[in-house]
Structure 1
């Protein structure tokens, strides 16, 4: 019986890790606080996929936070900074500045990131719901 519990815990943890990998930048873009809560939760001995799904779903209606979205994009930028040119870096930081001053929206920033992704492919980022917008599919 104990072995079954360990197998189930391992399976549940793997499911949570896959879901978190897809959604962590989306969560970070909505709430740094919830991002930190989930990171701590995933360190626990036993985790539950439903808990994680609910945490992510509850963020859908959270009002946009420019600071949190900017922070998430800076984390995403970390995947490009070694390869991207100075011009590409300036381009991202310029559009982020426009976003922060309400001269551009989140979609414009995400589209710029997608351009970088085409030039510098990264499967991890390509599956991120922050960039794909596939929140429903991920939580199905």
Structure 2
């Protein structure tokens, strides 16, 4: 695989993790990818982004982006659970890991391999 292929694979795996931490860093890396960065440059930018402490806004933004894969596939119970999780998260009744567990469940149920390969959802 050529270096660009490795860069694209890395970004596919890390993009939602970056978005979870920082929309600003996500946008920066997207612009960087339009140039001709090296794999090392992209990895460094990702590593830096992952040092940013996620805000409730960045967490919700990443959740909403990932939920977009399911909003037309999900059944009524799943749609209701998604809405309730969002409300509960905004009211500090649940932590962000509850959102991620739910998205991982949906990614596995609906076999969305793009999300299944995301480092953000690769937890035990």
- Relative to the length of structure 1, the TM-score reads 0.82
For 2:3, the equivalent position in structure 1 comes to 12
Q: Which runs of 5+ in 1 are unaligned?
A: 1-9, 135-140
For 2:63, the equivalent position in structure 1 comes to 73
Q: Say whether the 8 Å CA contact 2:29–2:46 is kept in structure 1.
A: no
Q: Which runs of 5+ in 2 are unaligned?
A: none
Q: Say whether the 8 Å CA contact 2:107–2:113 is kept in structure 1.
A: no
For 1:4, the equivalent position in structure 2 comes to none
For 2:77, the equivalent position in structure 1 comes to 87
For 1:49, the equivalent position in structure 2 comes to 39
For 1:5, the equivalent position in structure 2 comes to none
> Aligned partners of 2:54, 2:29: CA distance in 1, in Å?
19
Q: Say whether the 8 Å CA contact 1:98–1:104 is kept in structure 2.
A: yes
1:23 correspondence with 2:14: yes
Q: What is the deviation of 1:68?
A: 0.7
Count, aligned residues: 124
Structure number, greater radius of gyration: 1
Runs ≥4 residues deviating over 2 A: none
- Relative to the length of structure 2, the TM-score reads 0.91
CA RMSD of aligned residues (A): 1.7
Q: What is the deviation of 1:105?
A: 0.8
Q: What is the deviation of 1:42?
A: 0.6
Which stretch has the larger CA shift, 18-27 or 79-88?
Answer: 79-88
